[in-house]
A and B are shown apart, each in its own frame.
Chain A
Amino acid sequence: DTAVSQTPKYLVTQMGNDKSIKCEQNLGHDTMYWYKQDSKKFLKIMFSYNNKELIINETVPNRFSPKSPDKAHLNLHINSLELGDSAVYFCASSPTSGRASETQYFGPGTRLLVL
């Protein structure tokens, strides 16, 4: 029944480690996104993929690498984690046609804490 799911929901790790967050949507949407919500709750887009192609790449350190193996999945890999990477990361997806086109539906978020 889940629409947009993310794993894990919580991630605690040490500085310098590499970690991945996975996202899956079962809505049949063509476009998927990653957003970052900082400690002041400000939300900002990081990446967007449309049919497995990268279409939005905001100013994000190249330690962050998204990967979309298929339309339903968009994973986020982070190398050499830093304290400033601590945040909540949201995955979202949207259809590109139909009545709800361009409306983004969010996953539950992954809270990342870097120690």
Chain B
Amino acid sequence: AQTVTQSQPEMSVQEAETVTLSCTYDTSENNYYLFWYKQPPSRQMILVIRQEAYKQQNATENRFSVNFQKAAKSFSLKISDSQLGDTAMYFCAFMKHRGNQGGKLIFGQGTELSVKP
């Protein structure tokens, strides 16, 4: 069974600085997806970034980038130029590729990030 581990329950960062959130996962699958979702106090689950396992290039979305290390089964999220609006719970998630039927997301425990002014 797949598992996802986020070893940092809480983190804080000063506004405009850079922070990295860790995520490791365990799977015997070769074809899968990894995601980071953000959940601000509003409770909405917002997709931050997605990575296909077959792609060696790390995904980036504006200030958000990942460091995907497939052999090490590591998928960390880097947030550059942190903003107050980045304050949220961040979830790392794994999904096995299921073709055209969709698949279940397996979530980590979450990291509560506080951006301080």
- B-binding residues in A (CB < 8 A): 30-31, 33, 35, 40-45, 48, 50, 55-56, 58, 88, 90, 92, 94, 96-97, 101-106, 108-109, 111
Contact = CB atoms under 8 A, between A and B. Distances in A.
A41 B108 CA distance: 10
4 shortest interchain CB distances as A-B pairs: A31-B102, A106-B45, A45-B104, A96-B100
19 contacts: A30-B100, A42-B110, A43-B105, A48-B103, A48-B104, A50-B100, A50-B102, A90-B45, A96-B99, A96-B102, A102-B102, A104-B47, A104-B102, A104-B105, A105-B47, A106-B46, A109-B44, A109-B45, A111-B43
A75 B18 CA distance: 41
Contact of A50 (B46, B95, B101, B107): B101
- Interface of chain A, helix or strand or loop or mixed? strand
Contacts of B98: 102
Contacts, number: 68
A45 B89 contact: no
A96 B89 contact: no
A31 B42 CA distance: 25
Contacts of B97: 102
